[in-house]
Amino acid sequence: MKERSFEELKRSLAEAKGHPLETGWDIYRYMKGNIEQMESQEARTLLACYMKMGLEKPSLLHSLMLNIALRMAKRFPDFQFDRFFDMWEYPGIERIIGYVDYYDEKHKYYHIYDNMSRHFVAVDPHNVPQVGGFVEFTPIIPEDGKFKTAVVHMVFSDATPDYIKASIDAFGTYEAVVTEVNEKEGTFSYHITSEIKPTPEGTITPDGIAFLGMMQLTEGQEVRLLLFLKRDKEGVKRNYVARTLAS
């Protein structure tokens, strides 16, 4: 795919009404070829020009332009991807519930997991999540499957208990029984008694260990576990219990 020079792009934009699809591809080729040199204002202006063309969607070009926008969001702090996505008007977009696991202050990333153990990153979102809370988000998965992005639409925290309960129900939990309590280590062992769902990230094991936190548990007690697969320090994906709830 031949890159476009700025002069070629200007000519194409001037005649866009006569060939909007061709101009849309010209914008994509120019931005793709100059993505490391472009400034934020130029990138936002070209994306705005593209959106004003009213091209048919969904389409390959529309998906490619969305990936360009994702790359711009990573480069420029003033590029608010979630607001951009709200204006994107992509038909049939998926909205799911995710658990906010932790915040990377250095990169301004919120790390979010869904109930299939898929790991997403929300880059400096306009709607600020609470670690340990839940969000409603749209998953954006690039063609190579790497750096899955979350576009956060709504935030649910412990300050809104009704929403938290609904979020937990939507995320889903596993019924389990406590098999051992280790007060000294602050952990408990469990055995999952409900059906284990398959995930694209690996296999959830029926037995595991979790932190007690503030819970007072006894051996044989029935609980509900909000869990997903997460990489440990060795890089192996294992059961991770985010919340333990009374059964």
Counting residues of the chain whose pLDDT is more than 90, the rounded percentage is 40
Poorest-pLDDT segment among 78-92, 94-108, 116-130: 78-92
pTM above 0.75, yes or no: no
**For the chain, how many residues are written?**
247
Residue 2: name the closest of 19, 25, 36, 35 by CA. 25
Q: Which of helix, strand or coil describes residue 185?
A: coil
pLDDT tens across 47-75, in order? Answer: 888 888 888 776 778 777 877 887 787 78
pLDDT tens across 8-21, in order? Answer: 888 888 887 888 88
User: Per-residue DSSP letters for 83-95?
Assistant: HHHHHH--TT---
For residues 150 and 145, what is the distance between their CA atoms, to the nearest angstrom?
13
